[in-house]
Amino acid sequence: MGVGLFTIGTASGQTLSAGFPVIEEAVRRNQLLGDSTFQGSFSLRPLGVSQRGDIPIFKKLFGNGKSDLTGTTSRNYFRAIPFRQTLAFNSKRPYGWGNGPMVPNVGFQTYTQLGFATKLSILNIQFAPEFVWSQNKPYQGFESSIPSVINAKYRYWSFGDYPERFGSGPTTLFWWGQSKATLQVGFLETGISTENIWWGPGQFSALTFSNNSRSFPHLTLRSRRPANTFLGIFEGELIMGRLEDSGIPPSQITQLNEDYFFKFSGDYKYLNALTITYQPKWLSGLSFGFTRTHQQYSEQMGNTFSDYLPVFEPFQKKVYGFDRDAEGRDQQFTFFGRWAIPKGKSEVYFEYGRRDHAFDWREAFLNPEHARAYLFGFQKLWATATPGRNVQVRAEMLHQQESINRIIRYAGLGGGYTWNTHGQARGFTNFGEALGTGPGVGSNVQTIEISLVDGLNKKGLVLERLENHQDAYYRAFGNFNSGVDPWVDLSMGILWDHQVGDLVVSTRSQFIYALNYQWQTSPTLTKDFNSGKNLLAFFGQVHLIYHFGK
């Protein structure tokens, strides 16, 4: 059995795609178990894992080891990358996120990836295209005769790009996917890429970038492996990319779209983003860092240095300028931290973000809850009596809803924009999906997973609570005394992963019970809404990952 399935990095140029099913989780878990010398913070993905340092991981997972991807010591190679096939199904409404180019869908949806990686001296090429087919069936989505609900929903739809349904029938997509062409010198890598990137320590979501949406083309300058210095370990990336709107109206109700939706201009958005992570030499396992992004429609851009690299401009509005709104720039800033504790077989982490310039540093510290979102989570492992087998508990809470601060800064309870929305640059999205967070605009989610793990094998249970579109709810109804309860999804899923030779199978079977689905306020005559308020649905997913072993 080939250790080289996901041995990537120093002797090769292949990377482990951001959010890659089963394998990324196993690499992270093994760091906590002390079975890895990988020094990365997991705040910069895709991972460039040091082959030399990480062989113990793959010996444990795959049985035996070889010197590099090809089984030789040559720095040049040509090989097939692992084949990945995903099948997903949603019964009555879309559910699930963090699935790359796969879109919110009712019915069946498939994802296929196959390609090759090659390296010649410092030149590295990875060709990993993605093919997606979606059944994309119609379903009962947003439908309301209450003016306040219509106004609230269309406010965030018009200041973002989050369609309920991606077209009027089955869709197909063939895309460059996880491909790149780069030059690698030392710990640095630069070139052009269409890989998904993930910034921040989150396991299920991220405030800036994750694998939630289709990837986008970008120029990159990044550390392909952690850089050891006399001060500690550094990781970072600077990108310049291009984002596209979906061009799809948000609701399945044509008349409402015509009456309330701000149409797309057809322009693309220029994106500039930077992240840096630091692990102090004197505090083992601790890492912290920041991300900063700027996006702007190309028609509003200038041609100066600051127009192409606005991430280096001042944070303070009184320095940046109060007369810049006409330029249509949208800024987001986050800072994060992670503490990995191998002796305790555990980790804790957080990420906190703000999407608006502060007036000055005083205002930033006195009013940190303005325009903010945050997440925090942990992972803990306990050894069992069976060698190599552990009980794993991991959890995460994501909060995007505006804070109570909206009452102070804005008239009434309506609030301003919410995370991933903007008046001129619209949403922080690509082709209709948020680049980082997946549960929906203004939504909060809490996830906990309990499982028994052994190598790549897992049997577990996941529990999830999702508060849908809370900012739209408060804008529409004001408060909990309106007689309309929030829309909350409660779900339970069964997880099963298993490795057979060079094949890894991963499954998820999840039942979702929606309370007050779409804020239904009265009974209907349809079989799906016989109570008029609640909806039971099913989400299933299967991943097949195959390594072309020798």
Long-range CB contacts for residues 356-361, cutoff 8 Å, separation at least 24: 356/331, 357/315, 357/316, 357/317, 357/320, 357/331, 358/315, 358/316, 358/317, 359/316, 359/317, 359/318, 360/316, 360/317, 360/318, 361/316
Q: Is the pLDDT of residue 285 over 80?
A: yes
Q: Which amino acid is at 221?
A: L
Q: Is the pLDDT of residue 25 over 70?
A: yes
Question: How far is the CA of 99 from the CAs of 15, 37, 110, 502, in angstroms?
Answer: 18, 29, 11, 23
Lowest mean pLDDT of 49-63, 106-120, 349-363, name the range. Answer: 49-63
Q: Is the pLDDT of residue 547 over 60?
A: yes
Q: What is the pLDDT of residue 53?
A: 43
Q: What is the rounded CA–CA span in Å between residue 106 and residue 165?
A: 9
Q: What is the pLDDT of residue 439?
A: 94
Q: Is the pLDDT of residue 270 over 90?
A: yes
3-state secondary structure of 23: helix
Spans of all domains in the chain: 3-89+102-207+224-546
**Global pTM value:** 0.91
Q: Is the pLDDT of residue 407 over 80?
A: no
Segment 469-523, tens digit of pLDDT: 999 998 888 765 667 888 999 999 999 999 998 899 999 999 999 999 998 765 4
Residue 333 pLDDT grade (very low, low, confident, very high; cuts 50, 70, 90):
very high
Q: Are 546 and 82 in contact (CB under 8 A)?
A: yes
Segment 350-368, tens digit of pLDDT: 999 998 777 777 777 777 7
Q: What is the pLDDT of residue 413?
A: 57
Average pLDDT over residues 128-138: 97
**Domain 3-89+102-207+224-546 coded CATH 2.60.40.10:** no
Q: Is the pLDDT of residue 319 over 70?
A: no
Q: pLDDT exceeding 70 applies to what percent of the chain?
A: 86
Q: What is the pLDDT of residue 342?
A: 95
